[in-house]
Amino acid sequence: MKVRMIGLGLAVVFGAACGQKGPSMAPDTQTFTRNVDAMPSRVVEATTAVFAERQIGVATTDQTNGKVESVPLDPMAEWGGMSADQRVNCSAVAAADPNSRLVLTMHVKRDGDRSVLTLDAKRDGGESCVLRGPFMTELMDAIVAKVNAS
């Protein structure tokens, strides 16, 4: 009887351990930076326009402080101008957390006669997929192209 109780206890402990999620290998924030020959206000305007074109909802726009922040985005939903599998990488997690969201934040600061554009993708809630580098690079390219076109 004692052996049976020990065996049952070990089974419960091992079952509980297997049911726990391990630490996520996905970073909390991804950051991409680029220099651009434009005033910060033009970069804010261009970012807002590119986000709108790509169905990325904007939560806040602040030209004075050079910031544009998206609404929380479902990594698996339709936005960004491409399919989720082209936009996100889920290899660091067993499965995409349906409650996870990503918030894109663009910061721009004056640097002499240029500006420094930083685009962050921050995980908001739960384990998540991460955005692919080519997607983030293409998004920044579109912002810079919009700045140069205006």
Distances (CA, A) of 17 to 45, 60, 126: 50, 42, 19
- Between CA 113 and CA 18 the distance in angstroms is 56
- Between CA 7 and CA 81 the distance in angstroms is 54
Say if residue 45's pLDDT is above 70: yes
- pLDDT (0 to 100) of residue 114: 93
- pLDDT (0 to 100) of residue 89: 85
CB contact at 8 A, 120 and 30: yes
Say if residue 101's pLDDT is above 70: yes
Mean pLDDT rounded to a whole number for the chain: 82
Across 28-37, 57-66, 120-129, least confident range? 120-129
Summarised one tens digit per residue, pLDDT across range 48-92 is 999 999 999 999 999 999 999 999 999 889 999 999 989 988 776
**Which is higher by pLDDT, 104 or 2?**
104
- pLDDT (0 to 100) of residue 88: 87
- pLDDT (0 to 100) of residue 21: 41
Say if residue 33's pLDDT is above 90: yes
